[in-house]
Amino acid sequence: MPELPEVETVRKGLEKLVSGASIKSVDVYWDRIISGSIASSEFKQLLTGEKIIGFDRRGKYIIFHFRQWAMVSHLRMEGKYEVEDSSKPLKKHTHVVFHLADGRDLRYLDVRKFGRMTLVPLGEEISMTGIRLLGPEPTEETFDETTFYNNLQTKKRAIKPLLLDQKIVAGLGNIYVDEALFLAKIHPLRIANSLKKDEVSQLHKAIIKVLGDAVEAGGTTIRSYQNALGEAGTFQVNLSVYGKKGIPCIHCGTPIEKIKVAQRGTHFCSKCQRLAADQ
DNA sequence: CTGTTCTCCTGTAAGC
DNA sequence: TGCTTACAGGAGAACA
């Protein structure tokens, strides 16, 4: 499941492979992938003859820049892009194909069809639902610790679902949120406004580190990429708790537990990440 | 307004 | 073996 680091890796790959390319035509095989007020028939028509200027990213959204349009693409769980020669047969689960003028295709594949593409007039992408309400990018420069603390103080939700909803800080998904909470030694069910200043400080640092390290790791694997831009979602940087149920905690040896928090599989160390401070 | 639950999808794994 | 059920989860809609 692509989170911010994987999405950034895909963005870089797209930039490298198809920036500057012109679109000859577009095929859409699953209409619901194309969301927003511009439906798939118009989508295909409007992009025909357009030129891909470049790629941007905000949170987990990839933004395609055309001359007059922006296309906002979210991979959700399993979306991926591939660049193939146009003569190559389409793989199963191919839902959108951008035929390029140079004989290649940019293809979107998505087993579960959760991903979405939205075409908007250039400039309107920042006011789209989803992007408009995003919190800051999780970097030292943009993610302010004091603001983070103040925001958490106003929230009575458990910290994990709060971090997943993208409004406080952008980019965390189920994997890296578990990793960040483990690194900061905070239990996923802690109520946000119960976190002490030093805990928030640790969490702030952990989020920047976990996502930053993963972006770097993605940045190093990208060089070996030929044409598959979504497999980036499968690299995982030495995870400590995610998917480690029953495996000894790297700090204390206690088996990692897996519970459900807000319907999501949640991994943590019950000894390192206490729910009550005095235990 | 805030916080929670449901829905979209299909492949894989577990259970009987 | 073969069928059924549970599970994976990002984000937006629906609901309390």
What is the DSSP track for A108-175?
A: EE-TT---EEEEEETTGGGGSTTTTT----SSTTT--HHHHHHHHHT--SBHHHHHHTSSSSS---HH
pLDDT at A223: 39
- Ranked by mean pLDDT, which of A17-31, A229-243, A257-271 comes out on top? A17-31
Measure the CA–CA gap between A132 and A56, rounded to whole angstroms: 15
**What percentage of chain A carries pLDDT values higher than 70?**
92
Nucleotide nearest to A171 (CA to C1'): C10
Q: How far is CA A46 from CA A71, A117, A120, A121, in A?
A: 11, 14, 10, 11
Q: Which position has the higher pLDDT, A259 or A223?
A: A259
Per-residue confidence (pLDDT) for residue A221, from 0 to 100: 45
Sequence-ordered list of residues with C-beta below 8 angstroms from that of A223, at least 6 positions apart, any chain: none
Query: Would residue A100 count as lying in a domain?
Result: yes
Same domain flag for A115 and A150: no
* Domains: count for chain A: 2
The yes-or-no verdict on residue A158 having pLDDT over 80 is: yes
CA-wise closest residue to A28 among A122, A115, A87, A124:
A115
Instruction: Give the end of a domain, one of A127, A161, A195.
Output: A127
Alpha helix ranges (H) inside chain A: 4-18, 40-47, 145-153, 159-164, 174-183, 197-221
Residue where a domain stops, chosen among A92, A127, A162: A127
Question: Do residue A11 and residue A107 come from a single domain?
Answer: yes
Assess if residue A278 is contained within a domain.
no
> What's the CA–C1' distance between A45 and B10, in Å?
30
Same domain, A75 and A184: no
**Are residues A174 and A217 located together in one domain of the fold?**
yes
Looking at the fold, whether A97 and A168 belong to one and the same domain comes out as no
User: Does residue A114 share a domain with residue A75?
Assistant: yes
* CATH code, A191: 1.10.8.50
Clarify whether residues A98 and A39 are in a common domain: yes
| CATH code of the domain containing A10 | 3.20.190.10
Protein contacts on strand B: list nucleotides below 7 Å from a Cβ: 2-11
* pLDDT confidence bin for A177, thresholds 50/70/90: very high
**Residue A274 domain-assigned (yes or no):** no
CA to C1' distance (Å), from A155 to B1: 12
- Specify whether A62 is located in the same domain as A116: yes
Regarding whether A85 and A55 lie in a shared domain, the answer is yes
Query: What is the tens place of the pLDDT at every residue in A75-97?
Result: 998 899 999 999 999 999 999 99
Please check whether strand C approaches the CB of A262 to within 7 Å: no
Same domain for A21 and A72, yes or no, is yes
Arithmetic mean of pLDDT, A263-275: 93
Q: Per-residue pLDDT for A201 more than 70? A: yes
Instruction: List, for residues A39-54, the tens digit of each pLDDT value.
Output: 999 999 999 999 999 9
Straight-line distance from CA A227 to C1' B2, in Å?
A: 44
Q: Are residues A258 and A149 in the same domain?
A: yes
Q: pLDDT at position A222, please?
A: 41
Q: What average pLDDT does the structure give for chain A?
A: 90
Specify the pLDDT at position A228: 59
Band (A234; pLDDT cuts 50, 70, 90): very low
Tell me if residue A205 falls in helix, strand or coil.
helix
Tell me which residue range forms the domain holding A42.
4-127
Mean pLDDT of all residues in A210-233: 63
Q: Binding site for DNA: which residues of A?
A: 93, 112, 155
- Asked whether residue A174 is domain-assigned, the answer is yes
The model's confidence at residue A217, banded by pLDDT at 50, 70 and 90, is confident
- Residues of chain A above pLDDT 90, percent: 78
In a domain, A277, yes or no: no
pLDDT confidence of residue A219: 52
User: Which residues of A carry out catalysis?
Assistant: 2-3, 60, 264
Q: Are residues A241 and A154 in the same domain?
A: yes
Tell me which residue has tokens 């095929």.
A27
